[in-house]
Structure 1
């Protein structure tokens, strides 16, 4: 059951990260079509950078502690990318998303592409964790396939 609990947590965490990636795409698309200004968009997105990295890091640590090495290998690259992005933020800027530079050098397009890749990654992870959770729950069953009350099953047509 402990393995199933790890996968349930990973699935819930991955859902949060998937919705966050969709939120990033919506915000960046609104900025691209001038529905919001750059300062508002960048402030909203920078607010979610640390929770995103912490959620991904928490999943990676849980998989490490439960010795799920294949899933750890799957989650480790994104964790490294997100943590590295926070650690190497440029000095003098408001955050990873900087309103003064977001329109320069096609940075907005690259941020949208990055968010699309993260969304695809989290969607793939969602199905992997969902399948693993179902398999762990099936395997953690006691193996008893008998009918709990045989007198009820006698009257059923087969």
Structure 2
């Protein structure tokens, strides 16, 4: 039963990270269609980045603490990438440079979205596996 609760927490945390990345992607699409200005985009994205990093870190630690080794190993590259971005201060979006980096930033968010969808698929798989294992 405890394993199922851990998978449910993992599922909801993963949904939260997905929502944060999807929000960032929508902000970039809004900039591309000229619904928001670059300064507003930079403020929105920069305010969302740290909660995304923290939430993904919590997800990785949850898998480590609950001894879900495969999911921990799947989450580790994404955590390393986020820590690397944060340490080198490349996680910030600057309003003056946003149009030059728009394509790269969108591709980065789409890659994150695909990777998180991959993690979500495996999380749902292991959650169902733990439900079947209870019976």
Q: Same fold (TM over 0.5)?
A: yes
Q: Which residue does 1:100 correspond to in 2?
A: 96
Residue of structure 1 aligned with 2:126, choices 122, 128, 132: 132
Task: Check conservation: 2:21, 2:52, Cα contact below 8 A.
Answer: no
TM-score (norm 2): 0.93
Q: C-alpha offsets along residues 54-74 of structure 1, whole Å, 9 cap, x if unaligned?
A: 111001111111221111110
Q: Point out where structure 1 has 5 or more consecutive residues left out of the alignment.
A: 142-158
Q: Is there any run of 5+ residues in structure 2 with no aligned partner, and where?
A: none
* Superposition RMSD in Å: 1.3
Contact 1:49–1:86, Cα closer than 8 Å, also in 2: no
The Cα of 1:83 is off from its aligned counterpart by 2.1
User: How many residue pairs align between the two structures?
Assistant: 135
Between structures 1 and 2, the one with greater helix share: 2
TM-score (norm 1): 0.80
Note the 1:1-158 alignment, pairs <5 A: 1-89=1-89, 96-104=92-100, 107-141=101-135
Q: Which runs of 4+ in 1 moved over 6 A?
A: none
Q: Distance in 1 between matches of 2:34 and 2:83?
A: 30
